[in-house]
Structure 1
Amino acid sequence: MTKNIASYLVLALLAVIMLSVSFSSKDSIVDLSKYSTKGLELVYTVSLDDDIKDDVLVSNDENDVFSPYLGKSFVGFREAVGFKESRGDYATVNTFGYLGKYQFGAETLKMIGINNPQQFLKNPKLQEKAFIANAARNKWILRRDIKNFVGRRINGVLVTESGILAAAHLAGPGSVKTYLRSYGLDNFADGFGTTVQYYMKRFSGYDTSFVKPNKLAKAI
């Protein structure tokens, strides 16, 4: 009789544990905006130009190093751009006055609904929202060019959607349109000499399907 009671108690305990695990997994929600590489020394997806393979959209090379294991996902794209722009520093302002982890200009911030640069610098979550809003706006502006040029090569560089969006972040969508429609003859460079073509190549092949085209995208 005692053995039977003990068996029932063990079975009841196992059932409670299984139900608890099941409910907790259903209720968990991952907030991607909380993930950042700030403060980490990274060996990242964006290596020197010589190491980039133009003909590979998604790398399957076991020797490629991704940290923190984001690969070619959208979060990988976002963090790679942030790392290139500022090494992931939300509070930085460069010599040209560009702000935060993604080095936004004040005029671009206004277009996505942000009018207080100092508040923007102190708000990492807002900076992440700004990156997505700006990418959505740029994707809408460049939607026809994405359709017409993705998969082609310009000056030997394979055109991908992520490369286009990264270049638009650097130079603005107008400069990217000009680059694509001139087939690389008009290659805008920023104040540090970084070109549209360089970003096209460096950020090639990420999955940016998460970003939906939105003409009126706002961060606030």
Structure 2
Amino acid sequence: MIKKIISLSILLTIGGILLLSFTTKEKADFSSYSTAGLDLYYVAPNFNEIEDEGATYVTPELGKSYLGFKEAVAFKESRGDYGVVNQFGYMGKYQFGKGTLDLIGVKNISRNDFLANPVLQEKAFYAYLSRNKWVLRRDIKWFVGRTMNGVEVTESGILAAAHLGGPNAVKRYLRSGGVDGFADAFGTTIRYYMKRFGGYDTSYVVPNRKAKVEL
């Protein structure tokens, strides 16, 4: 029994010596590893934005035209359905709220009449774009072409984001360098709309401070 104990002790001693002999006494040198110059910024999209990441909102025939832009926005807002009302009361193909409709001159009209009038909805969309383009004219001049939060700022992206959250929210976002963000009731952000609807030709939209729908 004593011999077995002695033998085991010798084996453990030899094993310890061998282990130590393979252990480096030098400290690891990490000086050659640096993050200098690397873009470490990353924005994690919310679940709603991940779900839409691979979606296609426009037919190839429409491309990046103004028609392509408005149909892409409509698809995201309502799947292009003129008659839909969401759980928050936003109406139609472009999901207008009552306050916005009042702002562009669509007053004293019932919800059902608005939903049943595609021509009126199209006029409302253009009028709101036109007004927002005037309100954001300086921001369009200052920020288009820059990259903010990893997304190139374009005029169509700005106008789409203004449709989502209003022009003042877009102003705050741009003028804060993307720090002051906005998300709607579904968690959709200004950054996401700028990315999703960037690069369309919205030169067709004429800025107009007093844009109203002609009924």
Normalising by structure 2, we get a TM-score of: 0.72
1:43-58 counterparts in 2 under 5 A?
A: 48-49=52-53
- Is this contact kept in 2: 1:106–1:117, CA < 8 A? no
1:1-220 counterparts in 2 under 5 A?
A: 48-49=52-53, 67=59, 69-115=61-107, 116-118=109-111, 119-220=113-214
- Is this contact kept in 2: 1:114–1:120, CA < 8 A? no
1:110/1:144 CA distance change after superposition, 3 Å = same
Q: How far apart are the structure 1 equivalents of 2:77 and 2:60?
A: 18
1:65/1:85 CA distance change after superposition, 3 Å = closer
1:65/1:136 CA distance change after superposition, 3 Å = closer
- Is this contact kept in 1: 2:57–2:71, CA < 8 A? no
Aligned residues: 162
TM-align CA RMSD: 1.8
Q: How far apart are the structure 2 equivalents of 1:80 and 1:66?
A: 5
Q: How far apart are the structure 1 equivalents of 2:167 and 2:192?
A: 15
The amino acid of 2:123's aligned partner reads K
Which structure 1 residue ranges, 4+ long, deviate > 3 Å from structure 2? none
1:153 Cα deviation (Å)? 0.4
Residues 113-172 of structure 1, C-alpha deviations (whole Å, 9 max, x = no match) = 101242211100000000000000000000000000000000110000000000000000
1:156/1:68 CA distance change after superposition, 3 Å = closer
- Is this contact kept in 2: 1:70–1:76, CA < 8 A? yes
Q: Give ranges in structure 1 of 5+ residues lacking alignment.
A: 1-46, 53-63
Q: How far apart are the structure 1 equivalents of 2:120 and 2:137?
A: 25
Q: How far apart are the structure 2 equivalents of 1:138 and 1:95?
A: 25
Structure 2 residue matching 1:174: 3-state secondary structure: helix
Q: How far apart are the structure 2 equivalents of 1:82 and 1:66?
A: 10
1:212/1:48 CA distance change after superposition, 3 Å = same
1:219 Cα deviation (Å)? 1.3
- Is this contact kept in 2: 1:91–1:121, CA < 8 A? yes
Q: How far apart are the structure 2 equivalents of 1:140 and 1:66?
A: 26
Q: Which has the larger radius of gyration?
A: 2
1:66 Cα deviation (Å)? 5.0
Q: How far apart are the structure 1 equivalents of 2:167 and 2:63?
A: 25
1:67 Cα deviation (Å)? 1.5
The amino acid of 2:138's aligned partner reads R
